[in-house]
Structure 1
Amino acid sequence: MKILIVGAFGTIGSAVHNDLASRHEIITAGRNGADLTVDIRSPESISAMYQRAGKVDAVINTAGDAHFGSLLELTPELNEIAILSKLKGQINLVLLGMHHVNDHGSFTLTSGIVMDDPIKGGASAAMAGGAVRAFVQSAAIEMPRGIRINHVSPTLLEESISTYGPYFPGFEPVPARRVVQAYRKSVEGSQTGQTYTVY
């Protein structure tokens, strides 16, 4: 398969890339250093990326920013980070990409555990993740040409403890290699409308 991975050099994206590259043709996309440059906050940037990529069999997105911080300090501007990136950015990858994905291809988006298991400072990220889940479940029944859509909801990764560990007291982290299997299931399997939790 020809697979476009957006966010291919982040912690999850690089692990997914390393696993799938042995079996598939991979095109990487991201803000820096990838085959294709894209800013998922910009519909114009997304459209340009798809034009350069050509037809693909699968799109995986592991990119998406969100503000982490106290609800009392969460402003509309800070909340907009998750809305523009983790929420609208991912949905626009689907809306603008459907005509670039081959018949019976797939989209795999990324949400996160905080939508199911709240943490202090995680309200904005939880909002975006929950909305992505709702979109995937609903969009799955209308996707054209047998195209599938799923999302992966990972917990804290072992590889990210130094960055995000303080936000997740008492959470048991998982290695990236476990999370990778959920993306593989979405891309190489047959299911649609699914939430693949790795908690």
Structure 2
Amino acid sequence: MKIVIVGGNGTIGKKVSSYLSKKHKVIIAGRKKGDAQVDITNSDSITSMFQSIGQVDAIISIAGEAKWAPFNELSEEDFYIGLQSKLMGQVNLVRIGKEFLNSSGSITLTTGILADDPVKMTTSAAMVNGAIHSFVKAVKLEMNNGIRVNVVSPGLVEDAVKKYHDYFPGHIAIPMDKVVNGYVRSLEGTDNGEVIRIY
């Protein structure tokens, strides 16, 4: 399969890209580096990326950001970071990307444990993750040409423990191979409209 992985150079993305490239043709897209450049907060940038790489069999998004801060310190603009990037960025990858997806292709988005088990300072991120879960469940009802859409929702991953451990007291780190298998399940399996939780 020809697969574009948006965010393929990130903490999770590089492990997913490395694994899938053994069996598939992987195109890594990122804001500044990769085989293609894309800013998911900009629809024109998303369209340009797909026009440059052409038709694909699968789209995997492991991208998007949201502001982490105490709720009382979050401004309206702070919430828009997550809404524009992690939420609408991924929604637009589906909205635009489906036109460049071959029949029976798949789209995999990424959220995280905060949708189900939020911790302090994650109001914005938890809100966005929950919205993506609802989006995936609904959009699968209106996809054509056999296209499937899922979302992988990992817990605290091993490779991010040093950075985020203090935010997740008592959480057990998820092995990276287990996380990668969530994306393999979405890509090569038959799930559709599923939240694939790796907790």
- TM-score class, shorter-chain normalisation, is over 0.9
Report what 1:134 is aligned to: 134
SS of the residue corresponding to residue 39 of structure 2 reads coil
Report what 2:78 is aligned to: 78
158-167 vs 122-131, greater mean Cα deviation: 158-167
Q: Alignment identity in percent?
A: 46
Deviation, 1:169, is: 1.1
> Where does the alignment leave 5 or more consecutive residues of structure 2 unmatched?
none
Aligned residues: 199
Report what 1:45 is aligned to: 45
Q: What is the distance in 1 between the residues matched to 2:138 and 2:53?
A: 27
User: Where do 4+ consecutive residues of structure 1 move more than 4 Å?
Assistant: none
Report what 1:117 is aligned to: 117
Report what 1:157 is aligned to: 157
Deviation, 1:59, is: 0.1
Deviation, 1:114, is: 0.6
| TM-score of the superposed pair, with normalisation by structure 1 | 0.98
> Where does the alignment leave 5 or more consecutive residues of structure 1 unmatched?
none
SS of the residue corresponding to residue 172 of structure 1 reads coil
Report what 1:14 is aligned to: 14
Q: Deviations over 1:122-156 (max 9, x none)?
A: 11001110110001000011111000000000001
Q: Deviations over 1:57-90 (max 9, x none)?
A: 0000001101111011111111111101110000
| TM-score of the superposed pair, with normalisation by structure 2 | 0.98
SS of the residue corresponding to residue 11 of structure 1 reads coil
Q: What is the distance in 2 between the residues matched to 1:43 and 1:176?
A: 31
Deviation, 1:166, is: 1.4
Report what 2:27 is aligned to: 27
SS of the residue corresponding to residue 105 of structure 2 reads strand
Report what 1:168 is aligned to: 168
Deviation, 1:33, is: 1.8
Q: How does 1:95-106 map to 2 (within 5 A)?
A: 95-106=95-106
Deviation, 1:53, is: 1.1
Q: What is the distance in 1 between the residues matched to 2:52 and 2:123?
A: 36
